[in-house]
């Protein structure tokens, strides 16, 4: 217990010394808070139409301007943040669970199961992910839940490889051999002894995966294959910006900045966690 406490303290000390990682975590907290509190702090409902202020630039009444239907851009972006974060967390959660299960089975049992699972990973990696998602959406249709599930089902390969590599290293450790010697079940050894000791790279991968999922959802919504109107998404706000780029610059700039800041924040947080959780980097400090 004392060793675990010391490790946690050491990890935290390394993390807070990384100013970029700390900045990223603060940005993530701010974005998460804005998304959760969107119904409270948004000045208008996301589908409220003000016919007297169509394509109005940023001003006192509409801080970030309005779109081509007279809807408040700030309110729609706050609600759009909920979509982006929901897609990120749910999609990455699905991908992480699938990757952990497949990677753990491959790394622990080895042999035929390892070869079978890794060939499945190779096949999935050989297919361009974005085009695979487009193909699936063409069959089942767009929608926020469909996007979450599809991104999760097509993004687990990196986690599977990480977990497999960790399990290949851990299964020869003394505590694993001791657990086998006393007759512990494979399920207990995998999920009680090995998995907790292999989660560090998985956590880093999950945080970085949220940034990728947000970017992917925005791209799909921009193409009209993601979140469907009237519900807002940063991607479909950008679509309106493209249609009115010459007269309504705010429809492109503000959602574009939101996507940039969100992806940057999660990347900074993920890199900071990698530096803090990697014992090899910790020893070099």
In a domain, 48, yes or no: no
Q: Which tens digit of pLDDT belongs to each residue from 66-78?
A: 998 899 999 999 9
- Least confident segment among 91-105, 133-147, 162-176, 207-221: 133-147
Total number of domains in the chain? 1
CB atoms under 10 Å from CB of 6, counted, come to 10
Q: Kindly report the average pLDDT of the chain as a whole number.
A: 87
In a domain, 163, yes or no: yes
Residue 3 confidence (pLDDT): 42
pTM of the predicted model as reported, rounded to 2 decimal places: 0.86
Measured CA to CA, the distance from residue 96 to residue 74 in angstroms comes to 33
Confidence of residue 1 (pLDDT cuts 50, 70, 90): very low
In a domain, 109, yes or no: yes
For residue 4, pLDDT beyond 60: no
Measured CA to CA, the distance from residue 205 to residue 216 in angstroms comes to 16
In a domain, 175, yes or no: yes
Confidence of residue 8 (pLDDT cuts 50, 70, 90): low
Whether cis (ω within 30° of 0) applies to the bond prior to 256 is no
- Per the structure, the complete domain to which residue 224 belongs is given by 24-30+86-283
Q: Check which CATH number belongs to the domain holding 100 and give it.
A: 1.10.3720.10
Residue 199 confidence (pLDDT): 87
In a domain, 38, yes or no: no
In a domain, 5, yes or no: no
For residue 235, pLDDT beyond 60: yes
Confidence of residue 137 (pLDDT cuts 50, 70, 90): confident
Residue 72 has phi, psi (to 5 degrees) of: -70, 125
CA 55 to chain centre: 32
Residue 102 confidence (pLDDT): 93
Instruction: State percent of the chain over pLDDT 70.
Output: 94
In a domain, 192, yes or no: yes
Residue pair 85/242 in contact by the 8 Å Cβ criterion: no
In a domain, 162, yes or no: yes
Among 219, 210, 223, residue whose Cα is nearest residue 262:
210
Measured CA to CA, the distance from residue 247 to residue 205 in angstroms comes to 40
């Amino acid at each position: 217990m004392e060793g675990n406490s010391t490790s946690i303290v050491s990890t935290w000390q390394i993390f807070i010394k990384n100013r970029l990682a700390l900045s990223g975590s603060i940005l993530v907290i701010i974005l998460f808070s804005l998304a959760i509190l969107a119904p409270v702090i948004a000045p208008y409902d996301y589908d409220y139409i003000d016919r007297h202020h169509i394509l109005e630039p940023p001003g006192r009444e509409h801080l970030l301007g309005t779109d081509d239907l007279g809807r408040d851009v700030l309110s729609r972006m706050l609600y759009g943040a909920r979509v982006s974060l929901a897609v990120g967390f749910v999609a990455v959660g699905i991908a992480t669970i699938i990757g952990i299960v497949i990677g753990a089975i491959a790394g622990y049992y080895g042999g035929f199961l390892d070869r079978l699972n890794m060939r499945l990973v190779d096949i999935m990696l050989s297919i361009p992910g974005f085009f695979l998602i487009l193909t699936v959406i063409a069959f089942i249709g767009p929608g926020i839940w469909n996007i979450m599930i599809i991104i999760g089902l097509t993004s687990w390969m990196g986690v599977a490889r990480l977990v497999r590599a960790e399990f290949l290293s851990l299964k020869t450790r003394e505590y694993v051999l001791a657990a086998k010697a006393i007759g512990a079940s494979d399920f207990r050894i995998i999920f009680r002894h090995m998995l907790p000791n292999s989660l560090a790279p998985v956590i880093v991968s999950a945080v970085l995966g949220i940034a990728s999922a947000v970017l992917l959802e925005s791209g799909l919504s921009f193409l009209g294959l993601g979140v469907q109107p009237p519900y807002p998404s940063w991607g479909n706000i950008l679509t309106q910006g493209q249609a009115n780029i010459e007269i309504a610059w705010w429809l492109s700039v503000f959602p574009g900045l939101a996507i940039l800041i969100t992806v940057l924040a999660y990347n900074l947080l993920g890199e900071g966690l990698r530096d803090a959780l990697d014992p090899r980097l910790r020893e070099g400090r």
